[in-house]
Structure 1
């Protein structure tokens, strides 16, 4: 009897893998191992609708009952025996014929904030429920980190009328992802909605008695705070793979087809994967919901033998809703790119070029314009992924 295909991780990448396999007619047994309890849910709502109270629960990712999958919630993967082809868990081991690793990532922790009551990290349904309960007391909120998650938390808190300050260590918001023109637009959006923004500052410690009452910055400034939310990035959830024989380097190192280095019949997708991108010509790790879904569909195609190309590629689409504005981005931005701004009907579009080549676009309330550029970038990438077949 053939061992099942095992998918580790019950977030968007893992669940989409199961869906895509079944949609392609895959009839072999599938086991879905998920560390979180309960049915799988969609995480983008955690920093928005759940925090504002617009929804009591995040939406379900899928109805697993129709997918003929052996779902094992509340079960953590603790190790991997490649020689025996067994996944080690907290309650034994599971044999596998093929393995898809989709364990995601964990919030990067800030030592200056650890051990303080009132300090929150946002990654799970339980995290969001805890933070939502704090927000009902109308606290003063300090958000550490000016990325997309931090911006969404700040937006949700302001929607509830809370006093909010964003503290960002970089000289500007979204500095790792966006050019200065886009960063300035995002900062203006926050300030227009009453958020205090402090860039180029780091949190060095907390003050308080039973819980946090203030945070201290590196310039000596003290900010009153009843609640602190840290959103300073993530690290791949791959510690359980240490010593397994897989190559770990800011994620599971993979080839262009997302196959894990050091093993046959093993793939990594989503936040925990670091794969060689033939378009960008370097290893990359993407923490985007859309990329995770795309990778899951690609690997499902590899497993059943109908992958659309020899190498996975993505336009890197990401979106964020902040203060009622839909922010969308596609493509890449780096030191070599230049940015220009184009007004649209009620919105704004930024185009990013590397020389004469269009390499990215960012839209503020301009979804149709963004979609056109997303399709254009996808078409440009297709010949590169096909070329690797030879």
Structure 2
């Protein structure tokens, strides 16, 4: 792929970090000098949120890069007892992989239920049951306060869990510290309008984990941490830059999937105010999310065809707006 960049007139500079942004001079600041720009796309992503109680302690892992995955795989070959901190998709996938290897696994989640930030209670309960059915212990409403000896993790209620390896999956932090003082609005990411253009600058966009944009469907600022959304945003901004894009507001069905314990979990859209479980004709289980009478999202467990149909339906009703107004 990198060999093709020359033919596309792409100046690729690996190993060069951005250190700042001078909007007045239209320059990207780097360790080897400024780079002038006419238009700029910020796609610096995010980094794992750290677990302060275990900072600097041995046996603590974060999963973000290929090297992180390789190190964790090596740890798992030693047959450790595993505590996963965080009950989101990353934590669930790690727990599932560890149990597939026959390891002793506990999930610790600070919220009252798994996936509380992303899913309604009906879906959370289904995911928790899936883990428990496969031998994973689930402890919700608890936080890790520190290590107890070389192989223990202490919780806020005084419980000590045996843990040779701790994997933290508690979300991400946008990689935007290098933009401090640039004039861009930083608010859990680069704050953008509905068209992903950065507030406070002309000809500047943000995409991916570092973008926090005003979503016209939910009428609130949103930052998504899924690669599917990053890919959609990149295509949208490319269209805006080249003039090939017709839409004036970025819209997405927010599609994400996760394989856990041999079950494919898929989600599209929003969670709404009510959720109805159903069994689709093709089997599996489907949860339909509504705002009043309007279908706004769906979550599927081993029901890919049903979810695909609903995803297409949601995409067809996601109409862009022509004004950059705030609700």
Q: Calculate the TM-score normalised by the size of structure 1.
A: 0.80
Distance 2:43 2:210 in 1: 6
In the TM superposition, residue 238 of structure 1 has moved relative to its aligned partner by 0.4
Q: 1:338 aligns with which of 274, 291, 294?
A: 274
In the TM superposition, residue 386 of structure 1 has moved relative to its aligned partner by 4.4
Aligned to 1:204: 145
Aligned to 2:317: 380
Aligned to 2:301: 364
Structure 2 runs not aligned, ≥5 long: none
In the TM superposition, residue 387 of structure 1 has moved relative to its aligned partner by 4.2
For the pair 1:170 / 2:111, whether they are aligned, the reply is yes
TM-align CA RMSD? 1.4
Q: 1:115 aligns with which of 19, 35, 56?
A: 56
Aligned to 1:153: 94
Aligned to 1:230: 168
Cα shift readout 1:228-265 (whole Å, capped 9, x = no counterpart)? 00111111110010011111011101111111111111
For the pair 1:144 / 2:85, whether they are aligned, the reply is yes
Distance 1:128 1:92 in 2: 34
Distance 1:100 1:140 in 2: 43
Cα shift readout 1:134-192 (whole Å, capped 9, x = no counterpart)? 11111100000000000011111111111110000111100111111100110111111
Distance 1:389 1:229 in 2: 41
For the pair 1:78 / 2:14, whether they are aligned, the reply is no
Q: Calculate the TM-score normalised by the size of structure 2.
A: 0.95
Distance 2:196 2:110 in 1: 33
Aligned to 2:208: 270
Structure 1 runs not aligned, ≥5 long: 1-62
How do 1:7-22 and structure 2 match up within 5 A?
none
In the TM superposition, residue 74 of structure 1 has moved relative to its aligned partner by 2.2
Distance 1:280 1:217 in 2: 36
Asked if the contact 1:309–1:389 (Cα under 8 Å) also holds between the matched residues in 2, the reply is no
Q: Secondary structure in 2 aligned to 1:274?
A: strand
Aligned to 1:220: 158
Distance 1:187 1:215 in 2: 21
Number of aligned residue pairs: give it: 321
Distance 2:52 2:95 in 1: 22
Q: 1:315 aligns with which of 253, 261, 277?
A: 253
Cα shift readout 1:65-84 (whole Å, capped 9, x = no counterpart)? 22422222222211111122
For the pair 1:294 / 2:232, whether they are aligned, the reply is yes
Q: 1:258 aligns with which of 196, 218, 239?
A: 196
Cα shift readout 1:317-348 (whole Å, capped 9, x = no counterpart)? 111111111110011115xx111111133311
